[in-house]
Amino acid sequence: MDTITTQPFSDQRPGTSGLRKKVKAFQTPHYLENFVQAIFDTQTDLRGGVLALGGDGRFYNREAIQIILRMAAANGVKRVVLGQGGLLSTPAASCVIRKYKTDGGIILSASHNPGGPEDDFGIKFNTPNGGPAPESVTEAIFERTKSITEYSIIEGQPVDLDQPGEQTLGETSIRVIDSVKDYADLMMQLFDFERIHQLFNSGVFSMRFDAMHAVTGPYAKYILEGLLGALPETVINGEPKVDFGGGHPDPNLAHAQELVSLTSGPNAVDFGAASDGDGDRNMILGRNFFVTPSDSLAVMAANAHLIKGYATGINGVARSMPTSQAVDRVADQLGLACYETPTGWKFFGNLLDAGKIALCGEESFGTGSNHIREKDGLWAVLFWLNLLAVKQQSVAMIVQAHWHTFGRNYYTRYDYEAIDKHAAEGLMAHLRSELDNLPGQTLDSYRVAYADDFAYTDPVDGSRSEQQGIRIGFEDGSRIAFRLSGTGTEGATLRLYLEAYEPDPTKQMQSTESVMGRLVHIALTLAEIEQRTGRTKPTVIT
């Protein structure tokens, strides 16, 4: 074992989904090693314990895994469960941690961020429940990075990442497992595969799944085309590539345009779906019909009793603060507990572990349930396929019937990416200074009911999270929210969220743009976005 002298880096505080930087930052001597050693120093159960390890296959994934394996051996990890080829989707990693009862897992991913030598890389630690580390753990890791002076690593031949079976590195056993099978087995327990198989073989149903040259390609091919009998061309862009084929692996209308085109026009397929870089996000499309993630969660909650794994009913739901209130309306009518949490999947973990909720989701194309402790893109796709098979209706018919029953929450998000960090922080400070003055005001015919800086007290452990985003709510149920995202690697990302509630079925088929026009104007004016950031339009609208 070698003990390497090092010095701290000042920028290793994890964000909402781990530590994300440009590849070149992680290639800086000692940078990755410092952060990994901080994990081993603070997560002491790993010494003599079991570690799950894998990533989304982006550039530098394989090299980083070799370094982590050598460090795991030097730090006394007894056994590593490693995804074949160094691959594990984030939901599959959560599944593996829970199935093999490991003492945690290291997941290498920057999720939906672009990959390649000039782009992004990431690393995060998941706790033994399979979920992202809570703030208490990430803060402990960060504090350790600020004082680290050395790390431990052994020399040795590179581990064969591609051959399933047992290997040893020093005193550490390394088990390379099939990256897909454990996850697929779990999906078979939750969904009626026979019924979905019948849907695919009905001769009247067509589908495309866009893997975006990311990690879900092998999972989708095995499950959709293999187990469920979908046609061989169902999965497109199914080969994982280190740069995601030059694309942006974010499943939204802007970055999955090939899939959007396949679900548009007179010859469109009936169902389209996509997942992101590490497999935890999803986009759902019908023929000429986009399902917002907020609506998707609400539809799932309303129909969970029709799905095999949830047939006995669900006891509660949760959504992130920026997510629309559509699921709240379902919970209210069905008598379910409903929680509003900060952005970040780790906030759902305590609720799931305590049995307070069964379904959860966020507007940024993430949905999940109590089957694991991460959001799960392919799980959401299978849920929709099972629902389509049961209802024998189109995506549009299912969603429109849902609106008729519960009302429609029109929803959109504006992203302003890579803006000046000081300008973004100044904008948020300006909004906070106005909060006390807003309640009771009428803004372009919208009367403000409340205005606050969202804070969350965890109902399970009592932990407090403050300054989680600005909320401005109106008396008619409409809302505006602002927050700075923690997932970018350049400057700051300002997100603006807008929602308008329409209970009248005769007014539920308007375009989102026409409904949102006045709310957009109010938001841009209140936040002084153009004056403070210099941006005349958002980078992406979803």
Quick one: average pLDDT of 497-516? 95
| Model pLDDT, residue 486 | 61
The percent of residues in the chain predicted with pLDDT above 70, rounded, is 99
What six digits make up the tokens of 344? 């970040």
User: Could you give the C-alpha distances from 415 to 147, 240, 421, 439, 540, in angstroms and in order?
Assistant: 36, 27, 14, 26, 5
| Model pLDDT, residue 16 | 76
pLDDT tens for each residue of 167-210: 999 999 999 999 999 999 999 999 999 999 999 999 999 999 99
pTM across the whole model: 0.94
Task: Report whether pLDDT(66) > 60.
Answer: yes
Tokens 């781990």 correspond to what residue? 18
| Model pLDDT, residue 354 | 96
**What is the rounded CA–CA span in Å between residue 435 and residue 445?**
18
**Sign of the alpha-carbon dihedral angle for 149, 154, 160, 165:** negative
Task: Report whether pLDDT(518) > 90.
Answer: yes
Higher pLDDT, 490 or 312: 312
> Which residues are catalytically annotated?
111
Q: Do 183-406 and 2-179 have the same topology in CATH? A: yes
Tokens 């499943």 correspond to what residue? 251
Q: Angle, nearest 10°, between helix axes 181-190 and 377-391?
A: 30
| Model pLDDT, residue 107 | 98
- Contact, 452 vs 435, CB < 8 A? yes
pLDDT-derived band at 489 (thresholds 50, 70, 90) equals low
- Contact, 501 vs 476, CB < 8 A? yes
The percent of residues in the chain predicted with pLDDT above 90, rounded, is 95
Minimum mean pLDDT range among 7-21, 65-79, 140-154: 7-21
| Model pLDDT, residue 491 | 81
Task: Report whether pLDDT(283) > 60.
Answer: yes
Task: Report whether pLDDT(488) > 70.
Answer: no
- Fold of the domain spanning 2-179: Alpha-D-Glucose-1,6-Bisphosphate; Chain A, domain 3 (3.40.120)
**What is the rounded CA–CA span in Å between residue 62 and residue 56?**
10
Residue ranges per structural domain of the chain: 2-179, 183-406, 408-541
pLDDT-derived band at 530 (thresholds 50, 70, 90) equals very high
**What is the rounded CA–CA span in Å between residue 209 and residue 29?**
39
State the Rg of the chain over Cα. 23
pLDDT tens for each residue of 324-365: 999 999 999 999 999 999 998 889 999 999 999 999 999 999
Instruction: State the number of CA atoms in the 13 A half-sphere of 446 facing the CB.
Output: 26
What percent of the chain is helix, strand and coil (3-state, nearest 5)?
A: 35, 25, 40
CATH superfamily membership of 183-406: Alpha-D-Glucose-1,6-Bisphosphate, subunit A, domain 3 (3.40.120.10)
| Model pLDDT, residue 382 | 98
Tokens 């008396």 correspond to what residue? 475
Quick one: average pLDDT of 26-39? 98
| Model pLDDT, residue 346 | 86
Quick one: average pLDDT of 241-246? 96
Q: What CATH number is given for 408-541 in this structure?
A: 3.30.310.50
CA dihedral 64, 67, 68, 70 (to 10 degrees): 160
CA dihedral 152, 133, 481, 494 (to 10 degrees): 10
Higher pLDDT, 107 or 486: 107
Task: Report whether pLDDT(494) > 80.
Answer: yes
Quick one: average pLDDT of 2-16? 94
Tokens 């210099």 correspond to what residue? 534
DSSP string, 2-44: EEEE----S----BBTBEEEEHHHHHSTTHHHHHHHHHHHH-G
Q: Which residues contact 112 (CB under 8 A, 6 or more apart)?
A: 248, 249, 250, 251, 276, 277, 278, 281, 487
Quick one: average pLDDT of 472-481? 96
**What phi and psi values does residue 291 have, to the nearest 5 degrees?**
-100, 115
- Contact, 316 vs 338, CB < 8 A? yes
| Model pLDDT, residue 540 | 84
**What is the rounded CA–CA span in Å between residue 514 and residue 512?**
6
pLDDT-derived band at 15 (thresholds 50, 70, 90) equals confident
The pLDDT mean for the chain works out to 96
Residue 121, beta-bridge partner list: 21
